[in-house]
Structure 1
Amino acid sequence: MDELDATHTGGTVRNLDVGDSPPSEAVVLAVADARGCDPLDLPPLNGALDPDALDSLFGDRVSGRARTGGRVTFEYADCTVTVTGTRDVFVDATD
């Protein structure tokens, strides 16, 4: 994932668009990167929210056009994570 120049909450900002990966997978990868650990060392994402719902919320519309609005913030693996409709994920990994 490419680090962005913007900041959100003082944490680490990561680009959500990781090829064909769904948003739920991108969140796990971004949190692992921000925490400096292997993604497999993180708890399951479904303990924080429904990964399928996250993927549906930020997936393409039925027409195939990308969604560009919306935002969801949640706690995951001792981080505050914000996913936006502009395909960004913000990870605040401050302890």
Structure 2
Amino acid sequence: MTGYASPPSQSRAPSLYHASHDPDGPAALSTTVIHALADCMGVDVTDSRISLYDAVDPDALDDLFRPRHDGTPRTSGTLSFVVNGHHVRVRGDGEILIEPPAHR
């Protein structure tokens, strides 16, 4: 039978959204996360639905992966939290992974 497409599976996991933070760039890590969430959600970054404050303190997030006092980068470690059903994982190497909520 040609041309037949099976209906999407409801148990199918949503795709992971990947972003990367440049620690030498002008933006704070929390700002990069907010922009990545907005892009993943398909909304403007100023949309009031996007806020880290209910999940994580943005200043603490920035401090957690800031270079050490001697200037060496913090490339290890991971912080995970949920914003509007989106599972966010931030790694010390600057990788940001966002898993959107599963659609039912």
TM-score scaled to structure 1, two decimals? 0.82
Residue 18 of structure 2 is aligned to residue 43 of structure 1 = no
Aligned match of 1:90: 97
More helix by share: 1
Q: CA deviation at 1:77?
A: 2.4
Alignment of 1:16-95 (within 5 A): 16-17=21-22, 19-41=25-47, 42-95=49-102
Unpaired stretches in structure 2, ≥5 consecutive residues: 1-13
Question: Identity of aligned pairs, percent?
Answer: 33
Unpaired stretches in structure 1, ≥5 consecutive residues: 1-8
Q: Distance in 1 between matches of 2:84 and 2:36?
A: 11
Q: CA deviation at 1:57?
A: 0.5
- Across the aligned residues of Structure 1 and Structure 2, the Cα RMSD in angstroms comes to 1.7
TM-score scaled to structure 2, two decimals? 0.75
Bigger Cα Rg: 2
